[in-house]
Amino acid sequence: MFMLEVSHLAHGFDRQPALWDIPHLYWQGRSLVHLRGDNGSGKTTLLRLLAGLETPRQGTIRWTLTGSMPAASPPCPGRVLYLHQQPYLFDTSVAGNLRYVARWHGWRGNMARDRVAAMLERCGLAAHAEQRARSLSGGERMRLALARAWLLSPRVLLLDEPTASLDRQAIADVSTLISSLHETGCAIALSAHQPSALTERCDEYWCLEQRCLQVSAFKQGVAV
């Protein structure tokens, strides 16, 4: 069974020609996907469509997120999350951003404190717990956004250029965090224009080129 099924998907803006036409796309959700393509090829648009943040001009997108549930069209609140390369952070402390998620889950008291504290440690942000979130560096902001998403326990995470403008160490930190989240069973697809330590960990590639989407899987550097 496929987690994601896309059929005859096309999208554009106003009266402009479609950015691309995707006859079919199937994804089981086990691979770590790198979505690549030139600037302007429509990577962000595709991720936003998959997340249900925009309505396609043509075609269907169907998610099957559990074995007992029928396929559903987006949106899937809390199950399919989209994270922009400059994620929005609440204007409060680092820990406060995670407490919002705790309250959304209905966690209270010791449970909320323990979950937030554990996530701060996991993401290497415990020392910044009371710092204003908007004063963090770019890499720290991305780690906080990932920590907040992780607390939501998404089934699918769609990341738009998560390592853009980060230095080498920040990329390594974010890559480790994304890999750890993927290992918990979260399906992850990420866009990236430039290769990095993170894209090297991917084992499936979606390439937008000449208004088409090409899919390939790589094992030990060999296309299959």
Q: Which residue has the tokens 């866009």?
A: 191
Q: Where are the domains of the chain?
A: 30-56+63-89+145-223, 90-135
pLDDT tens digits along 85-112: 999 999 999 999 999 999 988 899 999 9
158 exposure class (CB count in 10 Å sphere: 0-12, 13-18, 19+): buried
Question: 30-56+63-89+145-223: which CATH architecture?
Answer: 3-Layer(aba) Sandwich (3.40)
45 neighbors 82 (Cβ within 8 angstroms): no
Query: Dihedral (C-alpha) 171, 174, 175, 177: value to the nearest 10 degrees?
Result: 160
- For residue 154, cis peptide bond before it (omega within 30 degrees of 0): no
On the question of pLDDT at 219 being above 70, the answer is no
On the question of pLDDT at 220 being above 70, the answer is no
- List the Cα angle 208/214/215 in 5-degree steps: 120
| Mean pLDDT over each residue of the chain, to the nearest integer | 91
**What is the sign, positive or negative, of the torsion defined by CA atoms of 70, 71, 75, 76?**
positive
Best CA proximity match to 4, nearest among 47, 57, 40 = 47
